[in-house]
Amino acid sequence: MTDQATLRRKRKAPPEPVEFASDIQLARRYAVSRGTIWRWTDEGLLPKPLKLGPSCTRWRLTEVVERLEGKA
């Protein structure tokens, strides 16, 4: 029979939570306009955003930072 300590060692750590950002949040972060965020997206500088609802579009913040700042 397996004891509790062995079970704890075998469990994987929970995944890191995913942070999402709107065009407004990204524009503030990079001191540009919302239009620039969308242009960068169209030009491939930013990853494609996710459509979470009819009026809710978000980017994964880690992907944006990785693309624009070269960090993971």
C-alpha angle 36-43-50 in degrees, rounded to nearest 5: 80
Helix axes 23-30, 34-43, angle to 10 degrees: 100
Q: Collapse the DSSP code of 2 into the 3-class scheme (helix H, G, I; strand E, B; otherwise coil) and give the result.
A: coil
Sequential pLDDT tens for the chain (72 residues): 556 666 666 677 777 788 999 999 999 999 999 999 999 999 999 999 999 999 999 999 999 999 998 865
Ramachandran region, residue 36 (left: φ > 0; alpha: ψ -120 to 50; beta: rest): alpha
DSSP state of 72: -
Angle at 23 between CA 20 and CA 29, to 5 degrees: 80
